[in-house]
Amino acid sequence: MSDTDSFIDEVTEEVRRDRMFLLLKRWGWIGGLAVLAIVGGAAWNEYSKAQATARAEALGDAVIAALSSNDAASRAEALAGIEPASTGGDAVLALLTAAAESGNGDKAAAVARLEALASQGELPQIYRQIAAFKALLLQADTLPVADRRQRYEALAQPGAPLRLLALEQLALIDIAEGETEAALARLQSIREDAEVSTDLQQRATQLMVALGAEPAPLPTRQG
């Protein structure tokens, strides 16, 4: 390579550096803003997580303190005074308050609270169905059998989170109405369900034995 070519290359490289410097000088602030935005966003995300954790811990502490009372009325009053900071926290608090009200003998207030919770369409299905199920349990002696059966059947639909518990209650209604064969069929279906818990399976088996039936052998589950 000649000295002339080398000189031209050096000049060209210098021009490139000058252009890059000018570009950075003119537009470098955009990159700085981008870096600040990224760092700020990460900091805000961590701050938000910390705040959410703090709120959850505060709610948990308040609930534990409220439930520490041995008196149901005091528990209900303490729970009613807690301010939840999230939708899920509000639902859990309502369920606990209803339980305290029921324990204090105020079933009407507990049922009203549970039914109000069950009707909140913005809540996840599991909260609404737990509330509806508990409300039905509290109305076992007051709600007409036809109404209870209809509502439990709605909770027992395929895919519903509490369907097996609802089927158990339907079997109990069948027994009370003298429909033994229908009850046995429901109980056997509960026993054979792939999602049944050990406790519920045992309860269904014991009920079948109490009804004078010999429960059919259960299929072997694949491990």
165 near 200, Cβ under 8 Å?
A: yes
> Of 179, 173, 169, nearest to 204 (Cα)?
169
* pLDDT (tens digit per residue) in 193-216: 999 999 999 999 999 999 998 888
> Of 166, 110, 100, nearest to 142 (Cα)?
110
Distance CA 17, CA 140 (A): 85
164 near 190, Cβ under 8 Å?
A: yes
Q: Give the global pTM.
A: 0.65
Distance CA 19, CA 26 (A): 10
* pLDDT (tens digit per residue) in 40-81: 656 555 645 555 555 555 555 555 655 566 666 666 666 666
Q: How far is CA 139 from CA 96, 120, 132, in A?
A: 18, 20, 11
Give residue 11's pLDDT.
47
Per-residue pLDDT of the chain (223 residues; tens, 9 = 90+): 554 555 445 545 555 665 665 555 555 545 555 555 566 656 555 645 555 555 555 555 555 655 566 666 666 666 666 666 666 677 878 888 888 888 888 899 999 989 999 998 888 888 899 899 999 999 999 999 999 999 999 999 999 999 999 999 999 999 999 999 999 999 999 999 999 999 999 999 999 999 998 888 876 655 4
Distance CA 63, CA 42 (A): 32
